[in-house]
Structure 1
């Protein structure tokens, strides 16, 4: 399929990884959602941008099936509300509503106490591009083979390891649900470059295991988004695959 005007191209893969028994990640692409799946190859779709389109990854957390329920609820709510979103204020309000809903569900079911989910994604409208996140899932802009992180990690700053590499942690300071009585404050911003562009969204099952420079190299050398996403997943699996892995490579063509 050739380049379509007024459309966004999405390549996605979500997988439980090599260690976890289940996949608590979920993804949303416009009206499409995938939750709890184990994909062994990327899926590819095109979405029109006549109305706003939301594209995001959610990484569930909590015991039992709680994380899977939280992430699935988050992506379903984003799919329902995406076409009505107009900008940062409406994204902020939607994420706060989802946070309240997950907390309410957890309060009604003791086995789901503490359930929550991260989220990271983009909202593409006919006139602008926005990014958002809560937690440590990430949104990057892809520009000239470089990945520029737009999202803000909600995790404590740790001193680098002896070799100078950053140290990662599974601890996050806030999520949708799971934040106790602390007010959840989403990170929402407008991409400084409107119109055509490319973004990478991922759960920390990729970003914690594969260095940024390696991710950039894999995308640059692939020459095809399906190959790029598959090779990113394979790199995370080869680096232990100790967490669920979800990857979205997004290209807006007008």
Structure 2
């Protein structure tokens, strides 16, 4: 059963963090993309759901600007193809094409060997809401003040640290373009909630540094999504800001 179109309100910020010299993250909001930028405040846009809309973050991997090229290519391709994809199968096909294109580019330029990018986002259509990811960037559904992770981390499972907290790692088992000879398999699924809803998408520059309960508290206590996104960024910066930080809050009305 289809759902009414309506609109999605997207609030986004991408920033290099406190340590990195450049931002290799990128974001896509419908036909809008931001790549390699250092935003000093969240941007907000309202996108009509007259067709399908893709909203996602991408975290580039690889030095010498290679990661920036990979993430920028990924978000541009999602922006171009977004209006034409309607089903989970379309997302799967698109991400596999992007994977092949990044690998081809790296194969033609030795300095970009091994470059890749993670991706995590939502496809919003008249038929429902679909999540997708490759790598360890994340998509959460915001429901009753709780963040429920929809995406599936492509990272090795590690034993907890001495204090019982999970150990984080920068190693991932697959990415767009950076999976080597191994086949890349996107994770794609349908959100159980078909109509209105809210989602948080982020690179690991947020999720590795700010505990889930703190992210929930910040969102619940903030007066509006722009303040919430800004305060999430501040929390990541205060927790060292050792990585690029990208955050999207999307609400479908």
Counterpart for residue 93 of structure 2:
93
Matched, 1:185 2:185: yes
Structure 2 equivalent of residue 201 of structure 1? 201
Structure 2 unmatched ranges of 5 or more: none
CA RMSD of aligned residues (A): 1.0
- Tell me, in whole angstroms, the C-alpha distance in 1 between the residues paired with 2:45 and 2:127: 21
1:108 and 2:108 matched: yes
SS of the residue corresponding to residue 177 of structure 1 reads: coil
How many residue pairs end up in the alignment?
A: 250
Any residues of structure 2 matched to 1:47-62 within 5 Å, and which? Answer: 47-62=47-62
1:161 equivalent to 2:161? Answer: yes
1:1-254 mapped onto 2 (5 Å cutoff): 6-253=6-253
Q: CA deviation at 1:126?
A: 1.4
Give, in whole Å, the separation in 2 of the partners of 1:237 and 1:149. 22
Deviation digits for residues 134-178 of structure 1 (CA, Å, limit 9, x no counterpart): 000000000011000000000000001111111110000000001
1:36-63 deviation line (CA, Å, top 9, x unaligned)? 0001111100001010000000000011
Moved over 4 A (4+): none
Q: 2-side partners of 1:13 and 1:118: how far apart?
A: 17
Shift of 1:223: 2.4
Give the whole-Å Cα distance in 1 for the aligned partners of 2:27 and 2:8: 16
State the alpha-carbon separation in 1 of the partners of residues 111 and 202 from structure 2.
28
Secondary structure in 2 matching 1:176: coil
What are the superposed Cα offsets for residues 15-55 of structure 1, whole Å, 9 maximum, x if unpaired? 00000000000000000000000011111000010100000
**Superposition deviation, residue 127 in structure 1:** 2.3
2-side partners of 1:194 and 1:133: how far apart? 19
SS at match of 1:114: coil
Distance 2:42 2:86 in 1: 30
Please, which moves more after superposition, 5-14 or 153-162?
5-14
Unaligned runs of at least 5 residues, structure 1: none
TM-score normalised over the length of structure 1: 0.97
Distance 2:95 2:22 in 1: 25
Report how far residue 74 of structure 1 moved. 0.2
TM-score, normalisation: structure 2: 0.98
Between the aligned partners of 2:70 and 2:161, the Cα distance in structure 1 is: 33
